[in-house]
Amino acid sequence: MAIPKVMGTEVEYGITVKGDPDFDPISSCVLLVNAYREDHAGEILWDYDQENPLADARGFQVDGEKYTPNQQENIARNKTLVNGARYYVDHAHPEYSCPEVTNVRDLVVHEKAGERILEASRREANALLPKGAQMLIYKNNSDRKGNSYGSHENYLMDRRTSFKQIVENLMPFFATRQVYCGAGKVGAENRSAPVEFQISQRADFFETEVALDTMVKRPIINTRDEPHADREKYRRLHVIVGDANLSEYTIYLRNGVTAIVLQMIEDGTISKSLALRDPVRAIKETSHDPTCRKELQMDEGRRLTAVELQAEYLEMALAHFSSRSIDPITKDVLVKWEHALECLRRDPMELDTKVDWVMKKAMIEGFMERKSLDWSSPQVEMLDLQYHDLRPDKGLYYLLERQGRADRIVSDEEITAAIHQPPTDTRAYFRGECLKKYGSAVFGVNWDSISFGVDGEPIKRILMAEPLKGTKAHVDELLVSSPTAADLVKNLRA
């Protein structure tokens, strides 16, 4: 039986400083991250000792050196937040990794909280810039100069499920799911064929099927084997093929449907072979066809559109749950998935309040019609970028939301609460509450550990190898009975 699909996302944001001729992205990212302040005291390290990004899921270690910053750089580039998230500088981008959650609705809440946190720190950073300079943050995937940055998803999986089986069943799914979770993009990049508008921001940048890289020769399926949990029991599927989405409905479908397919893989209920002849070609062909009618060449000779291929997965999912108990959120995801595919089959523009790429396309086409412009206009490209602007008063997605033209999944109140409150049903609760209560005593943090410096003694590292332990139900009594970090360490050893 499939294990619970604990999940999370990591979003790299685009950054620039308008009015600064000497713009340096790395120093701007450091300024941005450090502009965000929380109440807990102390300078907390990110525990790189607990990471191994060179382990490959195919069973070997890749040659290379693991980057470990010195202590000063570590503190300057990393923040662990009281909501259980990590906010940090990744190469030349600010990145927000939301806390672990147990369901896709909570994931929407916490990913959207990340947007609010980025915008709050942007405002604080702007106050520190020279007069006339303004920092801008975009939740997108390309700088239009040939550089792409990621929006990654993570899912807990059973280690007993073979990686070969995961690859075979996921490849066609990942090559085509963009029809309901693409962010939309004007034009093409990375030497791809010219196109006026395409479904995905990322599709042009995928060049191979399976590999460990995330920045060069990007693969549709990434092989990083870094579980951040008990390695004997779990793997963390690190998904790099998705777009950075703003629509709550799109995020909900993106992660919710993927979690369902992963559950089916673990339960062995994917009964059809849907292998594509050339997945790398298929992901681009799908993206470059906003009509969603392009037929893709299957391995066994058939030709299916991306929507038809997704419908095959849906049919198997409905069969999978027909004889199993189903929770309300999973049931809702199935209903919304089926509805999205029905709309895409008839006319994708029926999803103009739900799916990012359709919302963006409808907005741009309305503007072009009013202004008598075509897709080659610089104004159109600017609108594309403006859709992803995190400023609530400037970002075009947020304009659509205020106008009631963006379907919501969660409330503003839930998002605001998630800025300061961790999920209660994963180990993120223990991490976040420890920062609130013992902040000055926390020495270092990783997803699966937290370390304390107590009374001048050697650092005490508490391992958290089980993502579903450390919950509110599991640790609240312990936290209440531990007024200090020393008490906590003592009580844990008792």
Cβ 361 vs Cβ 353: under 8 Å: no
| Token couple for 250 | 């799109």
Q: Hey, what are 413's tokens?
A: 């109140």
Q: Based on DSSP, count helices (H) and strands (E) in the chain, helices before strands.
A: 16, 20
Residue 334 CA neighbour count, 13 Å, CB half = 18
Enter the tokens of residue 469: 């332990």
| Other CB atoms within 10 A of residue 267 CB | 14
Name the active-site residue from 20, 90, 213, 332.
90
First to last CA, the chain: 34
Paired residues of 105 in beta bridges: none
Six token digits for residue 292: 């969603």
The structure tokens listed for 256 are: 């919710």
* 90 belongs to the catalytic site: yes
Instruction: Please list the residues that pair with 80 across neighbouring strands.
Output: 86
- Tokens encoding 304: 């299916």
Return the CA Rg of the chain: 22
Chain length of the chain: 494
Write the CB contacts of 303 (distance below 8 Å, at least 6 apart in sequence).
295, 296, 297
The catalytic residue positions are 90
